[in-house]
């Protein structure tokens, strides 16, 4: 894909873009091979919810045993060159993959969060390429708060309180708790400047890992979603320790 100056500008300013047609059918098949390999060879950290049922939900991430498979895919599809062009970065590092399966149309939204709340780094050159193997309407696509990668560093969500996703992960920090974005949007849909797009087959959502993002539910009219995420770092990345006292 030819990276344009507008794509660079939008990513740097807004924290998210859609790369339309990043994957031709053949290229998407190559991505699906890497996805399927990850499913067949999960890490010890992988998790299932409702395994074997129509509402099965699978997640795995950062499987070091599969790293060579994913790097070979990245090289074959020149995704490293694509990312380097977006940043004008001399070097690009592959941080790792994450795999999601949501089935059955009943899995709700993922909580709002910033990935760098869980990683001891920060800086302008960290991003995710979020790719689905289905056509996904806007309401089922991951949402991103415009420009949030340039703003406040929030605490992580502990994922321990299903009724309150702003419950903090870190207990010894001055990072503020996550805002109740969905509660505020329910009262005023314009309260947050949220980006979202319809995704056609071959499109990819590209966003800064420090952007506030969440959502991507499955619903009865969009019941299944298979997603492969690749995460990258560039030259402009800096060590920033995580807080103490993780819950």
- In the chain, what are the domain boundaries? 5-155+193-236
> For 33, phi and psi rounded to 5 degrees?
-60, -40
Question: Quick one: pLDDT at residue 52?
Answer: 66
pLDDT at position 205 over 90: yes
- Residue that the structure tokens 């309401």 belong to: 139
pLDDT at position 162 over 80: no
Question: Quick one: pLDDT at residue 97?
Answer: 98
pLDDT at position 54 over 80: no
Both tokens of residue 236? 């402009």
pLDDT at position 134 over 80: yes
pLDDT at position 53 over 70: no
Average pLDDT over residues 237-243: 95
pLDDT in tens, 30-42: 999 999 999 999 9
Question: Quick one: pLDDT at residue 247?
Answer: 57
b/e map 35-52, b = 16+ CB within 10 Å: beebeeebeeeeeeeeee
Quickly count: other Cβ atoms within 10 Å of residue 6's Cβ: 9
Cα–Cα distance between 60 and 127 in angstroms, integer?
Answer: 18
Percentage with pLDDT > 70 across the chain: 96
Cα–Cα distance between 209 and 150 in angstroms, integer?
Answer: 11
* Residue 46 DSSP SS3: coil
66 within 8 A of 41, measured Cβ to Cβ: yes
Both tokens of residue 64? 């070091």
Alpha helices (H) in the chain, listed in sequence order:
5-14, 25-40, 67-76, 79-87, 181-187
Question: Quick one: pLDDT at residue 73?
Answer: 98
pLDDT at position 57 over 90: no
Beta-strand relationship, 244-246 and 170-172: antiparallel
Say which residue, 58 or 180, is predicted with more confidence: 180
Average pLDDT over residues 141-153: 98
pLDDT at position 85 over 70: yes
What lies within 8 Å, CB to CB, of 113 at 6+ separation is 154, 156, 157, 178, 212, 213, 214
What lies within 8 Å, CB to CB, of 86 at 6+ separation is 3, 7, 8, 11, 127, 206
Instruction: Please report, for residues 171, 183, 242, the alpha-carbon distance to residue 245 in angstroms, rounded to integers and kept in the order given.
Output: 5, 27, 10
b/e map 192-210, b = 16+ CB within 10 Å: bebbbbebeebbbbbbbbb
CATH of domain 5-155+193-236: 2.60.120.620
pTM for the whole structure = 0.95
Cα–Cα distance between 246 and 244 in angstroms, integer?
Answer: 6
């Amino acid at each position: 894909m030819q990276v344009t100056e507008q794509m660079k500008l939008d990513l740097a300013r807004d924290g998210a873009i859609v790369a339309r047609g990043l994957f031709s059918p053949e290229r998407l098949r190559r991505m699906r091979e890497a996805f399927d390999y990850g499913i067949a060879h999960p890490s010890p950290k992988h998790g299932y919810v409702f395994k074997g049922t129509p509402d099965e939900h699978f997640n795995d991430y950062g499987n070091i045993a599969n790293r060579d498979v994913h790097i070979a895919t990245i090289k074959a599809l020149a995704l490293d060159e694509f990312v380097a062009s977006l940043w004008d970065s001399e070097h690009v590092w592959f941080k790792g993959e994450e795999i999601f399966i949501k089935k059955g149309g009943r899995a709700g939204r993922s909580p709002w969060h910033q990935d760098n709340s869980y990683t001891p780094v920060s800086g302008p050159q960290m991003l995710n390429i979020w790719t689905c193997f289905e056509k996904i309407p806007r309401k089922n696509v991951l949402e991103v708060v415009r420009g949030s990668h340039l703003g406040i560093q929030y605490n992580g969500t502990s994922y321990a309180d299903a009724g309150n996703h702003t419950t903090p992960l870190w207990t010894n920090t001055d990072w503020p708790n996550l805002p109740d974005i969905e509660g505020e949007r329910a009262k005023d849909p314009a309260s947050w400047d949220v980006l979202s797009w319809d995704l056609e087959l071959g499109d990819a959502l590209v966003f800064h890992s420090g952007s506030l993002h969440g959502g991507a539910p499955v619903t009865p009219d969009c019941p299944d979603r298979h997603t492969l995420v690749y995460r990258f770092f560039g030259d402009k990345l800096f060590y920033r320790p995580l807080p103490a006292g993780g819950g």
